[in-house]
Amino acid sequence: MPTPSRTSLDRIVRAGRTILDTEGLDSLTMQRVAVVVGVRAPSLYKHVRDRAELVRLIAGDVERELGAAMDAAATTGDPRGDLHAIAHAFRAYALAHPGAYALLFARLPDAWRLDPDPGSRTFDSLFRTVAALSGPEHVLEAARTVVAWASGFVGMELAGAFRLGGDIDAAFAYGVERIADAIGTGARQAAGPPP
């Protein structure tokens, strides 16, 4: 007689996510997940191909969460205000869920990487906001400049790389303003005729 499942993919992914958030990626082992869901490690392989697939499933959830947090922030009605709000939401998410955040922006083994999803809407509100500031021509470059700066800032903050002290919150606020100026300026220069 077939035995009913004692666990499920959903419970496994949620258990993994909890361990990731509380103890970090190194502690997210098959054995720890197995203990949480109440089976032995080998049983997990009936639900998930291997550890890399589990990490990818969790990363997908994280990507949707981060996207929703940024969407929810972009409500000031003013592009510059929205950019500030989105950047702030991005940083707040990363600081609140550093382990989860690392799944999206840290360099991980190729097998752990999220499959490129052309339908991903993660950065939609950011793209719209950037387009309003930069004009349509250089949206992609401008958006990449914003995301590169924000992810670099947060990455250094999480890595403890700001070793010269100073006010980190103020440095972030300074950065948003300068970046907002920059992508606006860049668009105006690019749109005009060459001198």
List residues near its own copies by CB under 8 A. 26, 98, 102, 104-110, 113, 116-117, 120, 138, 140-142, 144-145, 147-153, 155-156, 158-164, 166, 170-171, 174-175, 177-179, 181-183, 185-186
Q: Is residue 134 within 8 Å of residue 127, measured between CB atoms?
A: no
Task: Quote the CA–CA distance of 92 and 72 in Å, as a whole number.
Answer: 13
The angle that helices 139-159 and 79-96 make with each other, rounded to 10 degrees, is: 30
Nearer of residues 42 and 194 to DNA, judged by Cβ: 42
Give least dist CB 43 to its own copies, A: 26
Choose which of 25, 39, 73, 139 interacts with DNA (CB under 7 A). Answer: 39
**144 belongs to the binding site for DNA (CB under 7 A):** no
Q: 193 Cβ partners below 8 Å, 6+ apart?
A: none
CA atoms within 13 A on the CB side of 70: 23
Task: Quote the CA–CA distance of 43 and 7 in Å, as a whole number.
Answer: 9
Residues 50-89, one symbol each (x = binds DNA by CB under 7 A, - = not), give xxx-------------------------------------
Give least dist CB 178 to its own copies, A: 4
By a kind-dependent CB cut-off of 5 to 8 A, residue 81 interacts, out of DNA, its own copies, none, with none
- Summarize the chain as % helix, strand, coil (round to 5): 70, 0, 30
Q: 182 Cβ partners below 8 Å, 6+ apart?
A: 145
**188 belongs to the binding site for DNA (CB under 7 A):** no
Residues 2-21, one symbol each (x = binds DNA by CB under 7 A, - = not), give xxxxxx--------------
Location of structure tokens 């997908």? 60
Q: Which residues here bind DNA, judged by CB under 7 A?
A: 2-7, 29-32, 39-43, 45-47, 50-52
